Structure 1
Amino acid sequence: MNSLAVLTLLSLALILPTVHPQLANSSCKYFADNLPRRLRELRVIFNKVKDYFQTRDDRLDIMLLKEDLLEDFKGYLGCQSVAEMIQFYLEDVIPKVITGSAVEQNVGFLGNSLLDLKQTIKRCLQEKGIYKAMGEFDIFINYIEEYLIRKMRN
């Protein structure tokens, strides 16, 4: 390997660790600025398939997404609640949509958009998420304790 290539690789190795956080911060700023547009895109695509699914829903008396879930999103478990709902749609709902039509393509787009949103949120909130999770570790311990006490009584 010639000395210019070695020097270039060494320079990149030294520069990249300092550039990466700047790129992450820049892309997170871009994400925050474009979030309304991305959510609007999700709504537009969903509106294309909404009638298809709602006309096939024969249990209109049951509502999965209730007001208390929205309150969870606003509360101290908001980040976890949002992550779990995104995961639910990505793992349990979207992969099971088989229509063989444009509906399936639109649902695939929704899934890809949700996955991208999830990854971006995780990347952009990573450090804050770590502090938040560790800051609430005592609550986690309390939940474990409550769960185990309830199980031992039964």
Structure 2
Amino acid sequence: MKPSSINSTSRPEDSTSMTPPSLLLSPLMLLLLLNMATSNPMCNNQCCRFVESFPPRLKKLREDYSLISDFYEANDDLDTALLDRTVENSFKSPFACQVMNSILDFYLNTVLPTAIARVPEANVGLKLPVESIQQIFDELKIEVTRCRNYFSCKKQFDIKHLNSTYIQMESKGLYKAMGELDVLFNYIETYLASKRHKN
């Protein structure tokens, strides 16, 4: 038998041997896109988008806090917690939106301006992170106020007790409030996480 006759034997072509690589990738890309579309919620309003996009801001809050926490925690020698179990439980109640709104007011109007004004000259590097926290809190307060219906805000939380405790702590109240910022970040994170994927 001639060698050429072996090669001339006709075989059915493998269907993939003629398929361009781009056509093979198309179904894979389609599957990937479908997976991304189903795993990421589609937000149909600005409030939902705000909640979904908050984690990077929370990360920035924690980064800023890590730059100032040693100073404030070292100067906090009080055993009384400012953001106690009552505040934590309030963040888990139907009134959580109002709780967050009131506590943001407290930090924006009382704690953070005092912290900025009292930054010692020897620790001037503390000022920038505190101002950054203040700015993010301000943006958060605006969004919470604007999205009252989305968050189903109900008014019941009374911040008078927290404010009264802060005043009783006198000059040490500032260190207590600043030293507990990480606790507040956790409360905010838990609350906003509970509102994710809500369309």
1:89 CA displacement? 0.5
Which residue of 77, 96, 99 maps to 1:81? 99
Between the two proteins, the alignment pairs up a number of residues equal to: 110
* Residue aligning to 2:173: none
SS in 1 for 2:134: helix
Show the 5 A alignment for 1:42-61: 42-59=61-78, 61=79
Q: TM-score, normalising length from structure 1?
A: 0.63
Amino acid at match of 2:59: R
Matched, 1:103 2:126: yes
Amino acid at match of 2:126: V
SS in 1 for 2:53: helix
Alpha carbons of 1:132 and 1:48: their partners in 2 closer, same or farther (altered >3 Å)? Answer: closer
Q: Alpha-carbon deviations, 1:51-99, whole Å to 9, x = none?
A: 011111121x111111221110111221111111111100110000121
Matched, 1:94 2:112: yes
Q: Alpha-carbon deviations, 1:79-137, whole Å to 9, x = none?
A: 111111111100110000121411012101100110001111222x23346x654xx7x
* Residue aligning to 1:34: 53
Which runs of 5 or more structure 1 residues have no equivalent in the other structure?
Answer: 1-24, 144-154
- Counterpart CA distance in 2 for 1:77 and 1:70 is 12
Matched, 1:127 2:146: no
Amino acid at match of 2:148: Q
Q: TM-score, normalising length from structure 2?
A: 0.50
Superposition RMSD in Å: 2.4
Percent of aligned pairs with the same amino acid: 25
Q: Higher helix share goes to which structure?
A: 1
1:27 CA displacement? 3.5
- Counterpart CA distance in 2 for 1:127 and 1:65 is 26
Which runs of 5 or more structure 2 residues have no equivalent in the other structure?
Answer: 1-43, 159-199
Amino acid at match of 1:84: S
- Counterpart CA distance in 1 for 2:101 and 2:81 is 20
Bigger RCO (CA 8 Å, 6+ sep): 2
Pair member with larger Rg: 2
Alpha carbons of 1:132 and 1:107: their partners in 2 closer, same or farther (altered >3 Å)? Answer: closer
- Counterpart CA distance in 2 for 1:110 and 1:57 is 19
